[in-house]
Structure 1
Amino acid sequence: MKQEEVICCQIQEWYPKFKSLSLKTAILELPESFIEYLAGDSDTFLLPTSVSNEDAFPNRIHKPEDEEDYQLAEGSEDESEQPLLPPSFPELELKIKESIELLGGAVFPKLNWSSPKDTAWISPTGTLKCTSFSDIALLLRSSDSVVHDLCHAFDSCSDKTLCRPHHFYLALRKWYPALRPEMEFRCFVRGQQLVGISQREVTAYYPAVLERKDNLKDLIHDFFLDNIEGRFKSENYTFDIYVTKDRRVKLIDFNPWCEFTLPLLFTWEELEQIGRSGEDVDFRIVESQNTVRPGLKTAVPYDYIDMSSGSGWDQFLRKADEELQQQMRSS
């Protein structure tokens, strides 16, 4: 894998060309101070303070009496041990708030390459749905996938000269609550030819997808020929798509052709062989309950320490409890 192939798959590189085929997205360049916050290795997880009273769980309510926790008496032996104060990114927060409003009030975030799917469990909704800067900061700061973008994006490149991108971007993508996971597919392109298509949700069996297998294969192949072939810079890459109820295909993402992109129902060896042999496009889905795959990534939570009253985690847990109570009342 070449460094240029990885660079081409950054969302700020491909989205302008394929905007009409993809999800509505706002892309913001991130300040270096926020990157340092995301990559920080502090044992204490501090969520940023907010400039907006409409913010979600880390909206720490300012009370004069709380400041006593940060004040030390004169002559105290602990004067040298200053408490960690939460960071603040007011300009970025306001840009994010404006973008969320323009995109309908809810988004899911990603950096140059990766979304924080490994931390969806931490959200009160169990998804990547974000309605505030706080939601976004929590998911990004907790994600191993994001750490890969920050520190290891070029590690597998044979011609590596970069340790990290020159600039990092936050892509805020419009949230669509009714998306069906069984209708998302990963497509594999080798030598500018589509060689394989795999169902992305491999942990469940969907009979309706099996019934439409041949039609879906033709639909996705035609989409590639009409919209992708020859337009993307790399020779070898993958792209993810979503098929809507009315048979429209939406482009979700591009990824490099390499080991840190999951091949799902294939192996990389199989895909290489199909590409060399010139065989027809191989379309694979979960065709029975017996072929369901286990989850391919398990998130490992950080050691969360700041659980005091009024902290970000205290507010988060309250929000999660309120969400649960509301769901119980609705049902």
Structure 2
Amino acid sequence: MSYLKVSDISKQYDQGSDALVNISLTLEKGEVVSLIGESGSGKSTLLKIIAGLEVQDRGEVYLGETRILNPSQKLVSGYDEIKLIHQGNHLYPNSTVGENISRPLLMYDKAYREERVKLILEMLNLTSFEDKYPRQLSGGQQQKVAIGRAMSIEPEVLLLDEPFSSLDTIQKRELIEELRAIFDQMQMTVLFVTHDLDDALMMSGNLVILQKGKIVQEGKAEDIFRNPTTYYTAKLFSHLNIISDKEGAFIRPMDILIKNKGRNPGKVSEKKFLIHFNQLTVIMPEGEIWKVEDKERTCEVGEDIYLDWDKNKEVCLSFVSSDDLPTS
């Protein structure tokens, strides 16, 4: 039996529109999965249902053999075994780091409480900040305190609802790497929700992609990248250039070769300096606007270039419903 099992969950908003449609997924013990989707796709609603904090219209959630009851079925909603961490850290401003982490443990034995807080502080490299207040910490440190507080009562599952979106790129990258190592060490089961693919990939190579309340694809990131089943899924990983003479065929900017002569002529209309390459905007003969990666940084605006690519790297979506494909 799967450790965390979400089975056929559906939920409608009050106005009758679908928030979630027939959602089913499973996580094994110690597995870290990234759930990615655009704003309004139902990610936060799903996490609340999994945590027992939101009423679903249909479906069930199990942790092991325990059925997770929703607020209409349970006097006090929520479970200590499943902790949901939001974007806002909700720390107590007039309590120290140590006091914030120990709050869920107030009814526990004092010796255990002190031992557990010490362990969490050491694990998150917060020992030297134990007596500081949240206002004295960086955004990343505050988020670690919030996660430490959630972990203090030894939950079996962590649900992370875009907890790093307010952090800058460096803080976010360092914190995700640090937490991922801790999750691996503790064999913690984690479902991480984000709208940012880079964050999702840093946290986990296992992805679940949600669009308009439905799971459109799930699996290993590399498999999804190479074999997307929808235009939305394919577009998550990069811009897609439409190959005009092949219905439903696209080529990614990273897979295009720039040549001085040959087929597929185009003119560079714009150049942007990015970290690993110059991104070119290229106007093709039929007026299509393509994005191309100039890894050698040799092309200039106004230059005529020729493009080529390996046919095996084309993204084929000819089997996808026309409603899912772009109109231009």
Query: Which TM bucket (shorter chain)?
Result: under 0.3
Tell which structure's C-alpha radius of gyration is larger.
2
Higher helix share: 1
TM-score when scaled to structure 2?
Answer: 0.26
Higher relative contact order (CA 8 A, sep 6+): 1
- TM-score normalised according to structure 1 size: 0.26
